[in-house]
Amino acid sequence: MSGIGRIFGGRRERGGREGREARDAKRQAKQELDSSAEKSAEHESVQRPAAMALWTDSHCHLQHIDTDDEVRAVLARAEEVGTRRVVVVGTDAPSSRRAVDIASMPAQDGPGSTEVWATVGLHPHDSSMGTAAVRNFLEEVGAQGFSASRVVGVGECGLDFHYDHSPWPAQRRAFAEQVRMAHELGLALVVHTREAWEDTFAILESEGVPQRTIFHCFTGGPGEAERCLTLGAYLSFSGIVTFATAEELCAAAALTPLDRMLIETDSPFLTPVPYRGKPNEPCYVPVVGEAMARLKGEDPGELARATSANASVVFDLH
């Protein structure tokens, strides 16, 4: 079973590679690609902002897209609004392999094309599978050189106690093993944590926090944010910051220093307002970024510059 089939806050059907929500997202995305008129209308309001900035999507899942041509279309839409760098994140060995394949695709034609990197990891929902396949794949790409493979991180990995997709002991074991991998290989660590803060902090303190650690799709409040920042970690914020119910999260975002903040879509999930109901894409990064800029009282262009610089540092983007 593949972690990419799990939407944040949803349940993936057992026995299938992707859950109902992910299959619906794939089906809808394919329908939109088949209709150029519908596609243009959908993205019209986020195309060609007046002040084009460099945005980085620090966490997305493009593995649900069937063909390389469809991936290129998604990346072209991202480039049109200034999202010119994305990190495609693995959730088990097969999805990680696909992430590396996407990152290794020949560059699109023309200047300013979107650049792609990848991570390799095992999602907490699939911790029962064990980390051996992920470690083997990391060793495989490491033998070629991580720079050549465009692999920049271990994860996403961590703990998710909201659902019992994998027993908690298996989650703790898989997370600790992947923290050690990040240390051994000198890669960034991409952390997923939900309703498991104390256990997450305990494992990081026991194994040692990797120098470059990201709490992806941060959903904590100010207290959790302060603890993460004290550990030296970066916080990555998603479209949840546009939700009306996200008061605690927005308070955490407001106190996060500009030099420790990242922007992500977690696409195809967590589409920001006002595009709820549509599959998420890296082209919506500016929507998330502009919401963050309002929370911080910053110019969106400055926030784009800062968060992209942070991504360069924490992922050691080449």
Is the CB of residue 53 less than 8 Å from the CB of residue 305? yes
Q: Distance between CA 31 and CA 172 in Å, rounded?
A: 40
206: CB partners within 8 A, 6+ apart: 176
Mean pLDDT of 171-177: 98
What does the mean pLDDT of the chain come to? 87
Report pLDDT digits (tens) over 24-70. 444 444 444 333 334 433 444 454 443 468 999 999 999 999 899 99
Is the CB of residue 231 less than 8 Å from the CB of residue 213? yes
Report pLDDT digits (tens) over 199-237. 999 999 999 999 999 999 999 999 999 999 999 999 999
CA-closest candidate to residue 189, choices 152, 164, 224, 229:
152
CB-count exposure of residue 22 (10 Å: 0-12, 13-18, 19+): buried
In the prediction, which pLDDT does 106 show?
78
In the prediction, which pLDDT does 4 show?
36
Mean pLDDT of 117-129: 98
In the prediction, which pLDDT does 163 show?
85
| Complete domains list, the chain, with CATH | 54-315 (3.20.20.140)
CA-closest candidate to residue 95, choices 151, 134, 147:
134
Query: Is the pLDDT score of 315 beyond 70?
Result: yes
Q: Distance between CA 180 and CA 155 in Å, rounded?
A: 12
In the prediction, which pLDDT does 108 show?
57
Predicted TM-score (pTM) of the model is: 0.85
Query: Is the pLDDT score of 142 beyond 80?
Result: yes
In the prediction, which pLDDT does 289 show?
97
Q: Distance between CA 96 and CA 178 in Å, rounded?
A: 14
Query: Is the pLDDT score of 280 beyond 50?
Result: yes
For 279, what's the count of Cα atoms within 13 Å in the CB-facing half-sphere?
24
Query: Is the pLDDT score of 197 beyond 80?
Result: yes
